[in-house]
């Protein structure tokens, strides 16, 4: 995913409709106990969001998280790193 492509553009490339995206934002806003007026702001902010910077910090854990992501089939670790993140 290029850094010039927004999240909204990337989701539409992957086949996620605008209606589904707005439903996701409305559900997320309700789970966070935000008012209905926050939904359009959330849609606008997430649609325009660019590629995030991600740093994986495995500290003293049982390696369950690392093992789970390494053994995932869909999406694969490579797909997450190079296409999604």
Sorted by where each begins, the domain ranges of the chain are 1-51, 53-85
The mean pLDDT of the chain is 82
Q: Are 84 and 13 in contact (CB under 8 A)?
A: no
Q: Which structure tokens are listed for 1?
A: 């995913």
What pTM did the predictor assign? Answer: 0.62
Q: Considering the chain, what percentage of its residues have pLDDT values greater than 90?
A: 36
- For the stretch 40-78, pLDDT in tens is 999 999 999 887 777 766 666 666 677 777 777 777 777
How far are the Cα atoms of 28, 45, 52, 82 from residue 10, in angstroms, in the given order?
A: 19, 14, 13, 13
**For the CA atoms of the chain, what is the radius of gyration?**
16
């Amino acid at each position: 995913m290029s850094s010039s492509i927004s999240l909204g553009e990337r989701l539409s490339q992957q086949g996620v409709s605008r209606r589904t995206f707005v439903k996701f934002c409305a559900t997320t806003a309700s789970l966070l106990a935000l008012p209905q007026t926050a939904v359009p702001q959330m849609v606008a902010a997430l649609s325009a969001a660019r590629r995030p910077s991600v740093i994986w910090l495995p500290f003293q854990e049982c390696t369950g998280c690392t093992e789970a992501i390494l053994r995932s089939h869909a999406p694969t670790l490579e797909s997450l790193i190079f296409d999604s993140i």
